[in-house]
A and B are shown apart, each in its own frame.
Chain A
Amino acid sequence: MIVVQGYSQSYGKKDVLQEVDFSIERGEMVGLIGPSGSGKTTLIKSLIGMQIPTKGTVHVFNEQQPTLKVSKQIGYMAQSDALYNDLTPRGNLKYFGKLYGLRKKKLAERIEYVLDFVDLARDADRPIHSFSGGMKRRLSLAIALIHEPQILLLDEPTVGIDPKLKRTFWEEFEALRSKGVTIVVTTHIMDEAERCDRLLLIQDGRLIDAGTPQELTNRFGSIENVFIQKEGM
């Protein structure tokens, strides 16, 4: 489903990612963990096809990125909310839904469905600039889901939201996984990492370890050590 081979990314002289290899199967929930500045967002952006790899290849659904062919299959939630604040949630969803090519009836259905899914149905017609951070995060997730993507790329989806909403989010991610959606999620948080099928550890632009949370716990003693260990390495 996702195959990354010998992938390196540089911006000018700065090498951000070096020789990254991994692959992800359909229906997997994979956590990307690593300190900030380690290159998680950069990796996600290559998976969506927002940049040309400096070296190596990134394949999604057997298509080499970057290509528009797979854009419809991918849902993306950026690290910071990218919303049109002058518009309502419904306006935002309509816009992105249309860009993904959803037709009128289908679009209306999907908008109601995702609004319900992220519990924003009651606020759907209020302007966004009055929204709390959590509400904006929920709308960002709704936008990522509007076109029923097969792959969901979530860049720190739960940063800055309260524990209750965080739990709802993860229940939703798990619900999506059970429907066969492949999820790649970057995180800083231990209990989030524990809920993933597999973890990829990134540090200083290198993939330093990979495995199930259990395997990594065995290797490092505890999942907490995974985080601390790599920080100190």
Chain B
Amino acid sequence: MQALVVAERVIAQVFKDKRTMAMMFLAPLFVLYLLFTILGSSSDNVTIGTVGLPASFEQIVKEETPARSYASREAAEEAMKELQITALVYLENETPYILIEGGDVSKNAQALRVIQSALTKQSAEQGQAVNKQLLEQIKQLQAQLGQEVSVPAEVAPMAVRNPQIDFLYGDKDAGLFDQTAPALMGFFIFLFVFIISGVSFLRERSSGTLERTLVTPLKRSSIVWGYFIGFFLFVVIQTLLIQLFMVNVLDVTQSGSYSLLLLVNVLTASVALSLGLLLSSFAKSEFQLIQFIPLAIVPQIFFSGIFDLSDAPTWVEVVNRLMPLTYAAHALQNIMTRGAGIDTIGIDLLMLAGFIAVFVLLNMRVLRKERPV
């Protein structure tokens, strides 16, 4: 009940502060639009799966990138769904078929390049083998006939049949922005909510109004919940705006459930909200709060799935698991590019909710500094 009184006041305050409103609603859209415009492309390491191809083919692929062979197409596709392989090559009626995972654009391109060059090389080698065989037979014929037979110096290698390419998810038009967009969306929602909630709570502290509020019979938990509820309203609006902008205006690939996506975004924003409130307790000024950003926020972008961490040292993996954005980005990417449902990202939702609970509790705890009861 008291929390609602605090929430009502927070809401009234934000409505009066046009700059904060603009910062909350328009700044993320502007930044995302900029990124959308400038993003180019890059490349990554990929693993390629094969079914029923000659060992020589796998050998050629392995010169460039890891490869695995599978007993059946089903097994291979399963592995692809678990993201163990990026692309799958199999033969049907002598024609090579390529299946691309499609969730990660730079990996797609890389996989295609490796496979096609391997196919070309292999058929060249096959062609040479055929040549050798032919020459052998010709020599035998010459010996039998005792006379010269003119042979062409070289037999053209067997032509590669054009491979058939399919995508498991998405299509090959997807740009790099589509691939990084889910993670970036999570990151910017996080960043802006963190700054706004942190600065507002800090202002409350430095202006003495927090102390003044705590002189009343208000419970400490009520002020934390009050802030949480008050900002939550704006967070939902902001998230909805960002999501609409990304999916409907920038036309980023969105193959999953719209409401599930919204849920993940709102949870992400709530983590940022509670973290902002918490860290503002350890800052004496707005400047000090901003100093937390390179420490607590920016590193999270490294773990948000934009960069491939599979080769990183163990401690990085540990840090990765402690970062809320790791889970947010994982969920967002899976929903948007792979159309994943609650069964795939349920654990991410739980982790995000866990972060919120921990930060809110810590918040109530550190408010003891302000008032012991």
The answer to whether residues A82 and B208 also contact, given A71-B215, A99-B216 and a CB cut-off of 8 A, is: yes
Residue from A74, A81, A83, A95 in contact with B215 in the complex, judged by beta carbons closer than 8 Å: A74
* B343 → chain A closest CB, angstroms: 45
Q: Are B5 and A82 in contact (CB under 8 A)?
A: no
Instruction: Tell me, yes or no, whether B211 is within 8 Å of chain A by CB.
Output: yes
Q: Are A50 and B13 in contact (CB under 8 A)?
A: no
The answer to whether residues A51 and B216 also contact, given A86-B17, A95-B5 and a CB cut-off of 8 A, is: no
Q: How many residues of A contact B (CB 8 A)?
A: 30
Residue from A78, A86, A95 in contact with B208 in the complex, judged by beta carbons closer than 8 Å: A78
Complex interface residues of chain A between 115 and 131 (CB less than 8 A to chain B): 127
In the complex the two chains form, what is the Cα distance from A62 to B219 in whole Å?
A: 21
Instruction: Tell me, yes or no, whether A196 is within 8 Å of chain B by CB.
Output: no
Q: Are B373 and A82 in contact (CB under 8 A)?
A: no
* B20 → chain A closest CB, angstroms: 9
Which single residue of chain A is at the shortest CB-CB distance from B218?
A: A99
Q: Are B373 and A67 in contact (CB under 8 A)?
A: yes
Interface string of B1-35 (1 = CB under 8 A from A): 01001101100110011000000000000000000
Give the chain B neighbours of A127 by CB distance below 8 A.
Answer: 16
Interface string of A80-110 (1 = CB under 8 A from B): 1111111100010001101111000000000
Interface string of A47-72 (1 = CB under 8 A from B): 01111100000000000001110011
Which single residue of chain A is at the shortest CB-CB distance from B208?
A: A82
Instruction: Tell me, yes or no, whether B294 is within 8 Å of chain A by CB.
Output: no
Q: Are A50 and B217 in contact (CB under 8 A)?
A: no
Q: Are A99 and B207 in contact (CB under 8 A)?
A: no
Q: Are B209 and A66 in contact (CB under 8 A)?
A: no
In the complex the two chains form, what is the Cα distance from A203 to B6 in whole Å?
A: 39
In the complex the two chains form, what is the Cα distance from A104 to B16 in whole Å?
A: 23
Give the chain A neighbours of B250 by CB distance below 8 A.
Answer: none
In the complex the two chains form, what is the Cα distance from A82 to B208 in whole Å?
A: 5
The answer to whether residues A71 and B216 also contact, given A84-B9, A84-B13 and a CB cut-off of 8 A, is: yes
Q: Are B372 and A66 in contact (CB under 8 A)?
A: yes
Instruction: Tell me, yes or no, whether B371 is within 8 Å of chain A by CB.
Output: yes
Residue from A68, A83, A101 in contact with B373 in the complex, judged by beta carbons closer than 8 Å: A68
Q: Are A80 and B208 in contact (CB under 8 A)?
A: yes
The answer to whether residues A50 and B215 also contact, given A82-B207, A84-B209 and a CB cut-off of 8 A, is: yes
In the complex the two chains form, what is the Cα distance from A49 to B370 in whole Å?
A: 10
Instruction: Tell me, yes or no, whether A76 is within 8 Å of chain B by CB.
Output: yes
* B205 → chain A closest CB, angstroms: 10
Number of A-B residue pairs at CB separation under 8 A: 72
Q: Are B371 and A50 in contact (CB under 8 A)?
A: yes
Give the chain A neighbours of B16 by CB distance below 8 A.
Answer: 86-87, 127
Q: Are A99 and B372 in contact (CB under 8 A)?
A: no
* B234 → chain A closest CB, angstroms: 14
Instruction: Tell me, yes or no, whether B236 is within 8 Å of chain A by CB.
Output: no
Residue from B17, B208, B211, B213 in contact with A99 in the complex, judged by beta carbons closer than 8 Å: B213
Complex interface residues of chain B between 183 and 217 (CB less than 8 A to chain A): 207-209, 211-217
The answer to whether residues A82 and B209 also contact, given A95-B5, A98-B5 and a CB cut-off of 8 A, is: yes
* A51 → chain B closest CB, angstroms: 6
Most-contacted residue by chain B among A51, A99, A127 (CB, 10 A) = A99
In the complex the two chains form, what is the Cα distance from A83 to B17 in whole Å?
A: 15
Give the chain A neighbours of B212 by CB distance below 8 A.
Answer: 76, 78, 82, 96, 143
Q: Are A51 and B5 in contact (CB under 8 A)?
A: no
The answer to whether residues A100 and B216 also contact, given A68-B373, A87-B9, A87-B12 and a CB cut-off of 8 A, is: yes
Q: Are B217 and A99 in contact (CB under 8 A)?
A: yes
In the complex the two chains form, what is the Cα distance from A91 to B211 in whole Å?
A: 18
Which single residue of chain B is at the shortest CB-CB distance from A49?
A: B373
Which single residue of chain B is at the shortest CB-CB distance from A143?
A: B212
The answer to whether residues A51 and B372 also contact, given A76-B215, A83-B209 and a CB cut-off of 8 A, is: yes
Give the chain B neighbours of A87 by CB distance below 8 A.
Answer: 9, 12-13, 16
In the complex the two chains form, what is the Cα distance from A78 to B216 in whole Å?
A: 13
Give the chain A neighbours of B213 by CB distance below 8 A.
Answer: 96, 99
Give the chain B neighbours of A86 by CB distance below 8 A.
Answer: 12-13, 16-17
In the complex the two chains form, what is the Cα distance from A100 to B217 in whole Å?
A: 6
The answer to whether residues A78 and B211 also contact, given A86-B17, A100-B216, A100-B217 and a CB cut-off of 8 A, is: yes
Give the chain B neighbours of A95 by CB distance below 8 A.
Answer: 5, 8-9
Give the chain B neighbours of A49 by CB distance below 8 A.
Answer: 371-373
Which single residue of chain B is at the shortest CB-CB distance from A50?
A: B371
Q: Are A101 and B217 in contact (CB under 8 A)?
A: yes
In the complex the two chains form, what is the Cα distance from A48 to B370 in whole Å?
A: 12
Q: Are A99 and B2 in contact (CB under 8 A)?
A: yes
In the complex the two chains form, what is the Cα distance from A91 to B370 in whole Å?
A: 24
Known contacts A50-B215, A66-B371, A99-B218; 15 additional CB pairs below 8 A are A49-B371, A50-B372, A66-B373, A67-B373, A71-B216, A78-B208, A82-B208, A82-B211, A82-B212, A84-B13, A87-B13, A87-B16, A91-B9, A100-B217, A127-B16
Residue pairs across A and B with Cβ atoms less than 8 A apart, 28 shown, are: A49-B373, A50-B211, A50-B371, A50-B372, A51-B371, A67-B373, A68-B373, A71-B216, A74-B215, A78-B211, A80-B208, A81-B208, A82-B207, A82-B208, A82-B209, A82-B211, A83-B209, A84-B9, A86-B16, A91-B12, A95-B9, A96-B212, A96-B213, A96-B216, A99-B2, A99-B218, A127-B16, A143-B212
> Which 4 pairs show the lowest CB-CB distances between chains A and B?
A82-B208, A82-B212, A99-B216, A71-B217
- Which B residues lie at the A interface, using CB under 8 A? 2, 5-6, 8-9, 12-13, 16-17, 207-209, 211-219, 370-373
